[in-house]
Amino acid sequence: MDLTFKDLNLKDDLVLGLDALGFEQPTPIQNKSIPYLLDHTEDLIALAQTGTGKTAAFSLPILNKIDIEDRSVQAIILSPTRELCLQICRDIESFSRHMKGVKAVAVYGGAHIRDQIRALEKGVQIVVGTPGRTLDLIERRKLKLGDVQYLVLDEADEMLSMGFQESLDAILETTPEEKQTVLFSATMPKEIRRIAKKYMNEPHEISVISENKSASNVSHEYYMTLEKHRYKVLKRLADYNPEIYSIVFCRTRRETQQVADRLMQDGYSADCTHGDLSQAQRDHVMSKFRNKKIQMLVATDVAARGIDVNDLTHVINYNLPDSLETYVHRSGRTGRANKLGVCITIINPKEGGRIRQLERKIEKKFEQKLIPEGKEICRKRLFNLINEVEKVEVNDSQIEEFIEEINQKLSWLSREDLIKRFVSFEFNKFLEYYSNAGDLNATPNKRGGRDRDRDRGGKRDKGRRKSRNEAGFTRYFINIGKDQKLNPSELISLLNQTIKGEKFDIGAIDLQSNFSFFELEEGIESSVIKKFKGAKFRGRKVNVEIANPKPSGRSGKRKFKKKKKK
């Protein structure tokens, strides 16, 4: 027999709140986590994909166990982004709507710290925060964690990948030894194991997924084209799926904005969210997306962390992500709540090998699909329109008085002519756009060969092959590394302090003993080199130069060569 939330021994006020939200049965991760956290005080590690109900899995037991009369901070929940932080706080408020006296506050960067300090001073039992702002409030002595009984690290793998390791270490050291620590993650890299070993006491582990595996109800597809055709392919996919409700993932903020602007200019129901937008702008966009006033949300991975939508039809990777974990996170945004989902990736002919790697690691087969041709798209859109017409509700009382006059006006047209005119009125622009559309499919290039393109007339594309760096990031060499106590968080801080006045995205970071490599969004190379002249790190003079692209060989070490100065 399927369990209900009432069967999990939650308080009546909590069950009442869940009923009001339409929650009937716990998800697998909730079914495993909630009973354990209610009945045990030992630490817990829980592996579960994004979108499986993790927030309820850890927040319902906390709400069930906290002392409502005590206004000190009893639970601290850390999450990687302000969007996710706000979403968790909103969920807690929704779950506890029938529990008088529960106070939760979200603390995160990008908002006035004074407002958050005032909220803390009024007394709260639950704080949900991003690592940076949480540590800031602790150092200001405005957030006191001496009475904390429950510590939750949500999406811990993502927090580490974003460079928050030192902040997490500092926060965890301020919490009492006697507390229950709960760690939720979609993957279990070695850094998570390190934190678990250092700050958790023989944690119990539960999992509802195999690590690095994708959800079973998500299918994986890819379309191969040339770099210059990525946007055209995206448009065709949107046109071929008229009911699409999707997130389109891009690598950089700049690319995110550019793709969204082009979609909107071309008449698509689209918008974007990324780090250059204000919090008010991002909230406005997310409100439109959740209410389905836009069909396609273009986003960076970081900005998408707080998106919690259950009925996405598609996730589209405009570019392949850098890591397997990121792909798993992205694909987990569709196929939720027992619905089927599709994860689409647009690749160039050089990236077929990376698709094979993903297949091996997530243990799922990717299906290569042919990019729809104009005729296919027009047929699909046309019959979608016909289906919509069939389903339209007719208001006889309002239309009846006009029917006779309409019949007289159109009496000279046959039924066939009337249908043709109706379709043409709705469809002419579409038919014109795709009347001479070429084939955008590309074939995999062999080692050393050129990318082939079956574009109009079957001509071969003679443009030079783009490297990974030329597709969005430039790789740099810096003469400091682990021996100088450099870590990802310190490097990110050094970049932000040194390259002032520039907006940039940070790509891969590769730390070595006495030197390191890092990637920055392309287009600011001269500014980076200029601003690093005279820069220092821990008293040591810093030297930064543009590096060659990362070697892509199958095995073996390769010597690093800096680019020769012209």
pLDDT digits (tens, 9 = 90+) for 394-442: 888 888 888 888 888 888 988 888 888 877 877 777 777 787 788 899 8
Q: Residues 52-94: pLDDT tens digits?
A: 788 999 999 999 999 999 999 999 999 988 878 988 999 999 9
Same domain, 175 and 285: no
Report pLDDT for 463: 37
Domain that holds residue 259: 218-373
Q: Is 364 within a domain?
A: yes
Q: Residues 326-342: pLDDT tens digits?
A: 788 788 888 876 788 99
Same domain, 153 and 284: no
DSSP 515: -
Confidence check: pLDDT of 482 > 60: yes
- Residue that terminates a domain, selected from 207, 238, 272: 207
Report pLDDT for 558: 36
Span 501-522, mean pLDDT? 82
Same domain, 70 and 186: yes
Confidence check: pLDDT of 259 > 90: yes
Q: How far is CA 232 from CA 97, 378, 455, 469, 471, in A?
A: 47, 15, 12, 22, 17
Q: Is 53 within a domain?
A: yes
Q: Is 185 within a domain?
A: yes
Report pLDDT for 187: 72
Confidence check: pLDDT of 30 > 80: yes
Task: At 71, list the tokens.
Answer: 């206004």
pLDDT above 70: percentage of residues in the chain: 88
Same domain, 340 and 307: yes
Same domain, 51 and 171: yes
Same domain, 265 and 191: no
Report pLDDT for 56: 92
Confidence of residue 480 (pLDDT cuts 50, 70, 90): very high
Helix (H) or strand (E) holding 368: strand 366-368
Tell how strand 452-453 and strand 442-443 pair up: antiparallel
Tell how strand 218-224 and strand 204-207 pair up: unpaired
CA 308, CA 287: separation in Å to the nearest integer?
A: 11
Dihedral sign (CA 98, 102, 106, 111): positive
Same domain, 136 and 272: no
pTM for the predicted model, two decimal places? 0.56
Span 109-127, mean pLDDT? 92
Average pLDDT, the chain: 83
pLDDT above 90: percentage of residues in the chain: 38
- Residue that terminates a domain, selected from 326, 345, 373: 373
Confidence check: pLDDT of 263 > 90: yes
Task: At 523, list the tokens.
Answer: 């287009």
Q: Is 200 within a domain?
A: yes
Span 139-164, mean pLDDT? 88
Dihedral sign (CA 473, 478, 482, 485): negative
Same domain, 12 and 160: yes
Confidence check: pLDDT of 308 > 50: yes
Q: How many domains does one find in the chain?
A: 3
Higher pLDDT, 461 or 8: 8
